[in-house]
């Protein structure tokens, strides 16, 4: 009769060294927090662009959208236009926030 394999019992893993409290008076350094990386900044920008696109879709009037444009950072506006182009309002075939800044808008 063939032997059946039984699943191994879970083995408790030791905590990483950084998670263990150092002894009082030890010279071991505490782990430092790392500075934000470019990847973190990119994810933050994408999240801000998505929130901006959501806000613009929820705005009911031009005055509400103008207030959103005035309070948003330029880089977030550009990111929203690039990532969510189908959700950005257009005016005369141009992105509304760019068209409103030009002198040609009537």
Residue 97: its pLDDT value, please?
87
Distance CA 8, CA 38 (A): 42
Distance CA 40, CA 88 (A): 25
- Cβ burial 10-20 (10 Å sphere, 16+ → b, else e): eeeeeeeeeee
SS3 assignment, position 68:
helix
Instruction: Check pLDDT > 60 for residue 95.
Output: yes
SS3 assignment, position 90:
strand
Full-model pTM:
0.61
Mean pLDDT of the chain, nearest integer: 79
Residue 79: its pLDDT value, please?
95
Residue 29: its pLDDT value, please?
60
For the stretch 42-91, pLDDT in tens is: 889 999 999 999 999 999 999 999 999 999 999 999 999 999 999 999 98
Running DSSP on this structure, what letter comes out for residue 61?
A: S
Residue 13: its pLDDT value, please?
61
């Amino acid at each position: 009769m063939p032997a059946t394999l039984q699943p191994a019992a879970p083995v408790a893993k030791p905590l990483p060294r950084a998670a263990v409290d150092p002894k009082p008076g030890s010279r071991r350094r505490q782990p430092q927090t790392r500075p934000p990386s470019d990847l973190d900044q990119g994810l933050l920008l994408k999240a801000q662009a998505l929130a901006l696109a959501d806000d613009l879709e929820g705005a009911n009037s031009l005055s509400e959208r103008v207030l959103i444009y005035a309070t948003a950072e330029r880089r977030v506006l550009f990111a929203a236009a690039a990532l969510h182009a189908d959700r950005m309002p257009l005016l005369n075939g141009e992105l509304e926030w760019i068209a409103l800044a030009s002198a040609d808008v009537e």
